[in-house]
Amino acid sequence: MSDKVIEIPSPARLRLDSRALVENWQNLDKKSGRAKAGAAVKANAYGLGAVEVVRHLQESGCTDFFVANWQEARELQAEIKSGSRLSVLNGVRQEDMAYAISSAAKPVINSLEQARRWQSTGLPCDVMVNSGMNRLGVNLEDLSQFDWSTLDIDIVLSHLASADEDCPQNADQLEQFTAALKHLPGKRTSLSNSAGIALGSAYHFDCTRPGLSLYGGQQRPELAGSIQQIVFPEAQILQVRMLKPGDKVGYNANYTADHDHPIAILAMGYADGYLCGFSNQGIFYHDEAKLPVLGRVSMDLIAVDISNAPHLKESDWVTAEYNLPLASSLSGISQYELITGLGNRYARYWV
């Protein structure tokens, strides 16, 4: 047998717009005022491919990157250039220490236990303050229980819980974070995520940490007009068929034809992250022709009405409507879930 690897092209792919990614970061950096925008690239850059995202953003001037854990840090270590910094948001467990002390990435210290664990290394770190979200971070009242001057702290940070809405919690967290800074000798400070950037200069500090909006998400109206769509899911047609009145489509017959019309069966489904919320709601396009989703989204297949593009045939490609705010409105699924859930079966290509 031949040792030659035979390539099998994927029938579903993600077209990713590098220009829009860079311009999103530039706009978020500008909206950050005197602060410098970093980039949250955890969860494989929200599903789009962290290695390529970091390469594009570093070339554009981004120097601070944030991942969730040390596995993600290791995947990016070779990409981080001199002058750039990589922070691990989930901190440093005992099990992480062997790798962490050999890595150029910084742990974000989230507890007194982690602070004591890292203290003897003499290596740089960040510190997370719990300003009211009660997820990760050191409580304000516990800060006096440790001598923070024994750590080489780069960024003191916290995380806004409700920045996507106007509510008292935002001001409460700002007040708690500002109070915590009196106890922590960090070189830099950071509070705002994507939505927090839109709250104004009081929330910007030295470094902002946009995530979702880098990748096309818009959590607040102030971001509209400056954030572009990044990801365009594309699916190949596996079969074209003609429905007659009374014909039913998909599981539980959630669509019944009332007239003759053609449909296409696409090689995409909820296993790829195109979720069931798009059943009878989603839209695909071929050029300008709108192709509504018919019936229930299956694990691997979707049916669409191709009455507006009857020339379509097997092996042709169509594009999902995946503008995140609009797709969220159509499906009832959060923008975060829509983008991070895009599966590994997609081929990913940058244009």
- Output phi, psi for 236, to 5 deg: -95, 145
Q: Residue 102 class from Cβ within 10 Å (0-12 exposed, 13-18 middle, 19+ buried)?
A: exposed
The single residue of 31, 42, 270, 274 carrying the catalytic annotation is 42
The Cα–Cα gap between 25 and 75 comes to 22
Check: CB of residue 349 under 8 Å from CB of residue 49.
Answer: no
Query: Cβ of 92: how many Cβ atoms within 10 Å?
Result: 27
CA 54 distance to own-chain centroid: 13
Would you call 285 a catalytic residue per the annotation? no
CA 60 distance to own-chain centroid: 19
The single residue of 30, 81, 187, 251 carrying the catalytic annotation is 251
The Cα–Cα gap between 320 and 232 comes to 7
CA 9 distance to own-chain centroid: 25
One-character DSSP codes across 130-160: ESSS-SSSEEGGGGGGS-GGGSEEEEEE---
Would you call 248 a catalytic residue per the annotation? no
3-state secondary structure of 331: helix
Q: Residue 188 class from Cβ within 10 Å (0-12 exposed, 13-18 middle, 19+ buried)?
A: middle
Within 8 A by CB and 6+ apart from 174, the residues are: 131, 191, 202, 203
Catalytic positions: 42, 251
